[in-house]
Homo-oligomer: A and B are copies of this chain.
Amino acid sequence: MQTLQRLTVIGVGLIGSSFALKLKQLGLVDEVVGCGRNRVNLIRAIELGVIDRAESDPTLAVADADLVLLAVPLGSIAPIYRRIQPYLSRNAIVTDVGSAKASVISEIAGLLGECPANFVPGHPIAGRERSGVEAADSELYQQHRVILTPLTHTNTEAITRVSQLWQAVGAQVSMMTASYHDEVFAATSHLPHLLAFALVDMLNEHPELGNVFQYTAGGFRDFTRIASSDAAMWRDIAIQNHSAILKWLEAYQAELDKLAELLNKQDATELHQLFTAAKTARDAHIVNRAP
């Protein structure tokens, strides 16, 4: 594979750092420029060998880069793209890691007049409880998916290049439309996060039961693990993908109405069927799936 001469990572956190670190280990990049507002973090990134050079100004950081990875919070992707656009090399490819795709694409199109052909919208399905450059792990993407949601006018070579690089760091790349992506992740990721936040919030707001958290065990810990996720990140996702999330939240509320009715009627047969169907589906698709 052709080596990158200069990779610029804007946002030197877990996601961007892990990508850069693995490419460096594989010898697939000559120089990594890291850009961020936190100088201490950038110095640490140099010490850890994640980046070779630090820049605080994104317009300077992207100079002569052949790939720019926008690994910043969802709400900052389009505004940063607008700032760097005049300073990009003619052949520079830009990609991002935002958890919602249609909103990022339409914001960029809105700010730049159209969505650039060299922009390949992406979403690596990977995360850890720890964040920041200290958590960087060159093996983060092994056996994880990366979704790319190119537009019809996106440059084919740019898509191929981004796809190859993600595969090189260990990921399995899937292509889909931005709207399908947003539906699927609203249902399987954004909604569950909101459900977990809502449950913890409800228990926290009912002091008449006392501190009920003391009676919880492993099941509750796992169910609510995602409620310990970063609140600002999830605010951004909730806002940016609100219409797909609302659609699935309504479908879920209908499912809970059905459940409430079964409980009300004490319908043991139907409850058993519902639980069995769910257990069977999860065991088939999650527990027993190939790694």
**Quick check: B187 and A212 within 8 Å, CB to CB?**
yes
**Quick check: A274 and B197 within 8 Å, CB to CB?**
yes
| Chain A residues touching B, range | 35 or more
* A282 / chain B contacts, CB cutoff of 8 Å: 200, 213, 224, 227-228
Contact of A195 among B193, B199, B221 (CB under 8 A): B199
* C-alpha spacing A192/B255, complex, angstroms: 14
**Quick check: B215 and A188 within 8 Å, CB to CB?**
yes
* A249 / chain B contacts, CB cutoff of 8 Å: 256, 259-260, 263
Nearest-Cβ distance from residue A289 to partner chain B, whole angstroms = 8
Question: Any chain B CB within 8 A of the CB of A231?
Answer: yes
* A213 / chain B contacts, CB cutoff of 8 Å: 188, 281-282, 285-286, 289
**Quick check: B281 and A266 within 8 Å, CB to CB?**
no
Q: Which residue of B lies closest to A202 (CB)?
A: B255
**Quick check: A263 and B245 within 8 Å, CB to CB?**
yes
* C-alpha spacing A247/B203, complex, angstroms: 13
Question: Any chain B CB within 8 A of the CB of A232?
Answer: yes
Q: Which residue of B lies closest to A253 (CB)?
A: B256
* A238 / chain B contacts, CB cutoff of 8 Å: 262-263, 271, 275
- 13 A/B residue pairs, CB under 8 Å, sorted by A: A184-B215, A187-B206, A199-B255, A200-B281, A201-B255, A201-B278, A202-B251, A211-B285, A213-B281, A228-B287, A229-B275, A242-B264, A256-B256
